[in-house]
Every structure is written in structure tokens, then in C-alpha cells.
Amino acid sequence: MDVQSQIDRAGFPAEMQVTTYEEVEGRVFRIRFRQGEIRRGLEILLTDDAMQMYGEGPMVATVLQQLRKHADDGLPVLEAGQEYERLVYVGD
């Protein structure tokens, strides 16, 4: 599955950067952007269990929809040295 193609098709505003990377528990999707000196962002961890249970394609689409919703509603502010707020999708 080409996750980057799904990200590109999700229609995020140009000023918002969406990246993904692997962790031991699964794949992390991060959205971030900067408004002047203010940095904003959020992460969603999609666990391997969730991808196996519900399917990679549907779960990636769900994560991207949630990132888009949070982007539209307003992302949390990131303070210097602070980690991204993280949501987690797990299998049942």
C-alpha cells in the first residue's frame, strides 16, 4: 500500500505537513504546521493489531480522516521540548 499517495489525496492544506514513520507498536501519522512562531501538531499511532484486525487500507483512511478533522478543528500548540499529543488506534 502506498501510504504517501493516500496522504496526498486526503486534501490537507498546503501549509500542513503530514508524515508517517514506523515504531515498534505500529505506524505513527503526524500532522504539523507553523503559524508564525506558533507550532501546532498531533500524532496518531495506528497499532499493528488494529491494522490486522480491520485492514490496512480502511485504517489508514480512518486515521487520515481523523487527522483532517483535528486540522479543521484546530491542532494543539507545541511548546519547546514538548512531545506531540498522541491518539492511539488499537485492535479489540
State pLDDT tens for residues 30-62: 999 988 889 999 999 999 999 999 999 899 999
In this predicted structure, the answer to whether residue 28 has a pLDDT above a threshold of 90 is yes
Distances (CA, A) of 83 to 42, 69, 80: 9, 20, 9
- Residue 60, Cα to own-chain centre: how many angstroms? 9
The proportion of the chain whose per-residue pLDDT surpasses 70, expressed as a percent, equals 99
What is the three-state SS of 9-37?
A: HCCCCCCCEEEEEEECCEEEEEEEEEECC
pLDDT level of residue 87 (50, 70, 90 thresholds)? very high
The proportion of the chain whose per-residue pLDDT surpasses 90, expressed as a percent, equals 63
**Mean of pLDDT over the chain:** 91
pLDDT level of residue 10 (50, 70, 90 thresholds)? confident
